[in-house]
Structure 1
Amino acid sequence: MIEYATRAYSKEEVLRVLHPLVARWFDQSFDDLTPPQKYAVVPIAQDRNVLVSSPTGTGKTLTAFLSILSKLLEMADKGELGNSVYCVYVSPLRALSNDIYRNLEVPLREIRELAEEEGLELPEIRHAVRTGDTPPNEKQKMLRRAPHILITTPETLGIVLVAPKFREKLKTVRWVIVDEIHSLCESKRGVHLSLSLERLRELTGRDFIRIGLSATINPLEEVALFLVGYNDDGTPRDCLIVDTSFVKRKDIRVLCPVEDLIHTPSEVTTRKMYEMLVDLIKRHKTTLVFTNTRSGTERVVFHLKQLMPKEVENVDEWQIAAHHGSLSRYVRLDVEEKMKKGALKAVVSSTSLELGIDIGYIDLVVQLGSPKSVTRCLQRIGRSGHRLHEVSKGRIICLDRDDLVECAVMVREAYRGRLDRAQIPRNALDVLAQHILGMSIERKWRVEDAYRVVRRSYCYHDLPYGDFLNVLKFLSGGYSRLERYKVYGKIWYDPEEGTFGRRGKYARVIYALNIGTIPDEVAIKVFT
């Protein structure tokens, strides 16, 4: 049953359900609970599935981890903490994964110091990041000393589910945290993750606790179903929704670089836009600028590096930086560290900094062009004034009349608290094909068993059986006329026996190299 949390717990009640060391650390570190912590920590400690919806900067991540760290310490006290994974944290961005790793180091270190003060010997609680950036030697270390908390992305989770040795470490998983679930559920990446979670459920042989962390999104009931899915008998799994999406104070304005957007030449509009952007950056300590493309990010950074040193005293080129997914891991980490230290004057990003990465204090967010949705508008502007009681300050600069009208309506709806309805994809057969190939690598399957696992996902709960069989036929090379398009069989499928499995020794390689739903390149043919 999906239900809303109605009871707020006091700090004393929350501390009572935590391990003594975790409770003492929290009590020394924080004066009071944030709104999501008042409603969610105790239910998570009671092993309930929970979806937390709350604005940026309200301590959602710590809300999820408090009870888990407490339970891991209890297991350590009893000598039950083995060399395997107990918690999987899934984030949509590698940068966010690295950030969570750093943020977990602080409580783990300080809790260990408290234990040493009391003369207690505390076993190490290990945590590690495993993404596409993780070097092979680090992956080998994880086999020898498995992290108790695995921090990963949807695509990497899909890969480790077929890793012959490491998948054995996942059989002990008790908790899964899906962070920034609002950014995943509306894309096929979320569909991919929902099937990975059901395959993980099949691997563990029992239900695990699911915790979803979300910025403000609508409708919460549907997102909760996306998180928890269905039981084998078709009934939805239970989930408690913690909705603390109170209205955070905001200051959003729509700006135009010129008075006449229709008749002013584009080169003049662009020049005036950069002048306006430089002026905004000059009047604030640290400004985060969002564009809608990675190429746009690089273009803006190039022009700002040309203009800023001339227009603003004591500003060098290195104080203006780009951050997006095409940059190397080391460049991204360097930019994030400099932002935390307050060393940068302006950072330009496409999407990689719009989620909950800890980037220090930002006092202004500038959006170039329309963010395309009210939810994304609030998410990006919420990166400024990141702390609980501060004002989120944002400026949207429009370069054409269509953007101007769109952004004006968007800001009006943002002030009214009206959000776009989340559109969760259903029955995506391309994602299903990837997972059927992955399942075939794991073992030989009966068709009915595989269909049962797939239908537990919210995204495939109403998948017709005929469509499932057609995907099996397609993957097994049943459509010979497609061979001229280099579409060959990747699994074997016996319709009479009702079974399927892997075909060939390269199945795992094909799966790992082609996993995910983020296209390497986007090309669209336009016919007129």
Structure 2
Amino acid sequence: LEHLAGRPLQRIGLSATIAPLEEVAKFLVGYRDDGKPRPCVIVDARFAKPIDIKVLCPVDDLVHTPSEVVNESIYRLLAKLVQEHRTTLVFTNTRSATERVVYKLRKLLKEEGIADMDEVEAHHSSLSRDIRLAVEEKLKRGELKVVVSSTSLELGIDIGYIDLVVLLSSPKSVSRLLQRIGRAGHHIRQVSKGRIIVVDRDDLVECTVLAKAALDKKIDRVHIPMKPLDVLAQHVIGMALEQEWDVKEMYKLVKRSYNFYNLEWNEFISVINYLAGRYGELEEYNVYAKIRFDEEKGVIRRKRGIRYIYYLNAGVIPDEAKIHVFTEDGKYVGDLEEAFVQILQPGDIFVLGGRTYEFLRSYGSKVIVRKAEGARPTVPSWFSEMLPLAFDSALLVGEFRAKIAEMIRKNVARDKIIKWIGSNYNLDRKAAENIYTYILEQYLFTNGLVPSNKLILIEIFIDEDTTNYIFHALFGRRVNDALSRAYAYVLSKLANTNVRITVTDNGFMLTIPGRYRLVDVDKLIKDVDSSNIE
């Protein structure tokens, strides 16, 4: 933009939930031609607004209370909070959960005389734009008692006055927690009031740590990709569309960006050669030149017909490919995501729309199945839209678990530990007792080996017809997804069989067919290290 404007621009960046500010500031303003960052003034007003955050436990005992009772108590607690406030915004973590909560809340609030059914609405990205705008307008006019959303109302939309935000389960990062609760009392001098309702013990531990981190101003660090060559390729094509460039001038301009300030000349030229079709062997894969590069004159210009391709393919957000599922007789069943289909093997039993099906085969964008009523699923449910736990937040959760385990190891009195949890993390006694009991049980069962940010515990579990290697690794789903693939590769070599992977925020499971298919775990661990994994 500065190049097009022909003069220096003033850049202004605003965010209430971002860190580290120094790096983000460099990203915003970029670098000068001498390789030094442009000057930037940072005003840190992220925590000027007062916040009121509490974690709520729906029942006194999360361990022994039946799940249906816990579920009923969650909605009763939610209804009580709605009754006590004028307008409540409820956040879930998935679109399907949003629809489920709206359905149950409408019935409950009408039965209790708290609100009419038309005063409770859903708002998520799968709804049409007209419906979403209608909900937002009703919210602004104060016509709604409750709005339930997944992520679509987190930021950027003016939704009027909200006096309470309720989070059903963990928001999975401190930044998202602050973004969501910041929707309440949406004025600099008003208190942002938020309540987090937990659904199980792991959720209780996670929410407790995230709430404390938010109050302590520990925001998750953003990851800014450096030298993303795919993004550079897009920009080079875009620049060539607008004018003819001297290759050295283009390189100088690219290096003013924070992401490319350390881009080497040979890396830049390799991208130019790729776009100019200098790697002829790629043509057999239908990869053709997209720019013209006159190496003698050092000039880059556009190639005819590329503008249309550029506009169709700009951006780095991958498409969500849906695979259609049909029975053997051609009856349409529903859709699965492409990534889930990739892990399916003939004979696998999975759940779709509340029913079980056996996977037979797939071709193109179709999956063929047969009904498997009553059969036990062999593939875990697919939760691709579930938010992953942020890495920094995951480390804090592991650190907290280690702290409690260390107190138990040092024979600190039970009551003293519970009081410490309650006072330091703003919990009532029952919630603090649930956390203490949970970690104590882990400690006793594993003889003191409680998984943490510094300890990975490996459990071998023998099922009816499989052997499962469970890695209790508290690093969040993104890290665990990468680790699981590396260890699965080694395990497949050791056991000479295919490996099924199941990943969560708190670990991953590698499953191989057959009972007691035991391998050398020491070798499994040692064969994955920093020299052979990127």
Q: TM-score range by the shorter chain?
A: 0.5 to 0.7
Could you tell me how far 1:480 is from its partner in structure 2?
4.3
Local SS of the residue matching 1:394: strand
Matched letter for residue 41 of structure 2: L
Q: Could you tell me which residue of structure 1 aligns to residue 7 of structure 2?
A: 206
TM-aligned CA deviation for residue 376 of structure 1: 1.9
Supply the AA of the counterpart residue of 1:288.
L
Give the number of the structure with larger relative contact order, counting CA–CA contacts within 8 Å between residues 6 or more apart. 1
Corresponding residue to 1:512 among 311, 324, 328? 311
Letter in 1 for 2:80: D
Report 1:189-200 matches (<5 A). Answer: 200=1
Q: Distance in 2 between matches of 1:396 and 1:469?
A: 51
2:76 to 275, 278, 298: 275
Task: Provide Cα deviations, 1:381-410, integer angstroms capped at 9, x if missing partner.
Answer: 111122222221111122233322121111
Provide the TM-score with structure 1 as the length reference. 0.57
Distance 2:22 2:316 in 1: 25
Q: C-alpha offsets along residues 133-167 of structure 1, whole Å, 9 cap, x if unaligned? A: xxxxxxxxxxxxxxxxxxxxxxxxxxxxxxxxxxx
Q: 2 CA distance for matches of 1:483 and 1:353?
A: 45
Distance across 2 between alignment mates of 1:496 and 1:368: 63
Q: CA–CA distance in 2 between the matches of 1:477 and 1:286?
A: 59
Larger mean CA deviation between 494-503 and 364-373 belongs to 494-503
Report SS of the residue matched to 1:425: coil
**Match of residue 409 from structure 1:** 209
Instruction: Write out per-residue CA displacement over residues 314-343 of structure 1, whole angstroms, 9 at most, x where no aligned residue.
Output: x33332222233433332222222111111
The CA distance in 1 between the partners of 2:44 and 2:244, in whole Å, is 43
| Residues 451, 285 of structure 1: alpha-carbon distance in 2 compared, 3 angstrom cutoff | same
1:202 offset after TM fit, Å? Answer: 1.4
Any residues of structure 2 matched to 1:12-91 within 5 Å, and which? none
Give 1:256 shift.
2.9
Residues of 2 paired with 1:239 and 1:504: CA distance? 41
Pair 1:450 & 2:240 matched: no
- The CA distance in 2 between the partners of 1:295 and 1:204, in whole Å, is 46
**Structure 2: runs of 5+ lacking an equivalent:** 322-337, 344-498, 501-534
Secondary structure of the equivalent of 1:252?
strand
Structure 1 CA distance, aligned partners of 2:131 and 2:184?
Answer: 22
**CA distance, structure 2, for counterparts of residue 430 and residue 230 of structure 1:** 21
Counterpart amino acid of residue 123 in structure 2: H
Of 156, 160, 170, the residue aligned with 1:370 is 170
The answer to whether the 8 Å contact 1:476/1:490 transfers is yes
Give, in angstroms, the shift of residue 350 of structure 1. Answer: 2.4
Match of 1:358 among 142, 150, 158: 158
- Corresponding residue of 2:91: 290
Aligned residues of 1:291 and 1:367 also touching (Cα < 8 A): yes
CA contact (8 A) 1:319 1:344 kept: yes
The Cα shift of 1:265 comes to: 5.4
Q: Which runs of 5+ in 1 are unaligned?
A: 1-199
CA distance in structure 1 between the aligned counterparts of 2:53 and 2:204, rounded to whole angstroms: 14
Q: Is the 8 A contact 2:121 2:135 kept in 1?
A: yes
Q: Distance in 2 between matches of 1:334 and 1:309?
A: 22
**2:233 counterpart residue number:** 433
Q: How does 1:117-266 map to 2 (within 5 A)?
A: 200-262=1-63, 266=67
> What CA distance in whole angstroms lies between the structure 1 residues aligned with 2:148 and 2:283?
45
1:245 & 1:407 partners in 2: Cα distance? 21
From 293, 298, 303, the equivalent of 1:493 is: 293
Change (3 A) 1:471 1:275: farther
* Per-residue deviation, 1:267: 5.0
CA contact (8 A) 2:224 2:259 kept: yes
Question: Any conservation in 2 of the 1:282–1:312 contact (CA below 8 Å)?
Answer: no
CA distance in 1: counterparts of 2:104 and 2:20, whole angstroms: 41
RMSD of Structure 2 on Structure 1 (CA): 2.5
Does the aligned pair in 2 maintain the 1:367–1:395 contact within 8 Å? yes
CA deviation string 1:178-225 (max 9, x = no partner): xxxxxxxxxxxxxxxxxxxxxx11111111111111214332222211
Residue in 2 that maps onto 1:462: 262
Whose radius of gyration is greater, 1 or 2? 2
Query: Hey, what's the Cα distance between the residues in 2 that align with 1:268 and 1:475?
Result: 61
Name the CA shift for 1:511/1:293 in 2 (closer, same or farther; >3 Å).
farther
Worse overlay, 336-345 or 427-436 = 427-436
TM-score (norm. length: structure 2) = 0.56
2:47 touches 2:217 (CA, 8 Å); kept in 1?
no
Indicate the structure with greater helix content.
1
Amino acid aligned to 2:307: R
Matches within 5 A, 1:99-114: none
Q: CA deviation at 1:266?
A: 4.8
The match for 1:389 among 180, 189, 192 is 189
| Inter-partner Cα distance in structure 1 for 2:130 and 2:35 | 46
From the superposition, tell whether residues 453 and 253 of structure 1 become closer, same or farther in structure 2 (CA, over 3 Å): same
CA distance in 1 between partners of 2:88 and 2:199 (Å): 20
Q: Cα–Cα, structure 1 residues 483 and 287, in superposed 2: closer, same or farther, change >3 Å?
A: farther
Quote the residue 2:376 is aligned against. Answer: none
Change (3 A) 1:256 1:453: same
Task: Report the equivalent of 1:312.
Answer: 113
Deviation digits for residues 460-491 of structure 1 (CA, Å, limit 9, x no counterpart): 11122222222223333444444455433332
- 1:237-273 CA-to-partner distances (Å, cap 9, x unmatched) read 2222222334433221112334444555555544433
Letter in 1 for 2:247: V
> Mean alpha-carbon deviation: is it higher for 203-212 or for 426-435?
426-435
Deviation of the 1:229 alpha carbon: 0.9
Amino acid at match of 2:192: S
Residue 471 (1) aligns with residue 268 (2): no
Kept after mapping to 2: 8 A contact 1:247/1:417:
no
